[in-house]
Amino acid sequence: MSIGSEFKEFAMKGNVVDLAVGVIVGAAFGKIVSSFVADVIMPPLGLLIGGVNFTDFAVKLGTDPKGAPVELRYGSFLQTVFDFLIVAFVIFIAVRGINRLKRPEPPAADAPPPPPPRQEVLLEEIRDALKARQPG
């Protein structure tokens, strides 16, 4: 089998195509959620905390040989962590909603119970036949 035909067989498997679609849709969904965080969540939150911009927080460590300041910008890290937590929460809520839609509805209280599985019925018949064959 040639490399070309092996690659074609690999690439056309359902899992690879599903994964590719998932990555593309996930990237698009990530952009939506990032925009939601940056454009909808952060402006009111910034007003609530008094207009503080976390990305401005830094500790000056000194200057480099060219005279440019060397800073430890922990504010950018905090902002990124905060963005991640909001994105993770929004995705959690979305997945939770999707899972609720997938969940089967519970049976009605007045509905008769479902019949036992066929294997269970057969095992009960075998048990009863063995009991009937035993003396005594």
* Alpha helix (H) residue ranges in 63-117: 74-102
What average pLDDT does the chain have?
83
**In this predicted model, what pLDDT tens digit does every residue of 54-78 receive, in sequence order?**
778 889 889 889 988 899 988 888 8
CATH class belonging to 3-105: mainly alpha
What confidence category does residue 99 fall into, taking pLDDT thresholds of 50, 70 and 90?
Answer: confident
pLDDT number for residue 136 = 60
Average pLDDT on 105-117 reads 80
Taking the model in full, what pTM does it have? 0.48
Q: Write b or e for each residue in 68-89: b if 16 or more Cβ atoms lie within 10 A of its Cβ, otherwise e.
A: eeeeeeebeeebeeebeebbee
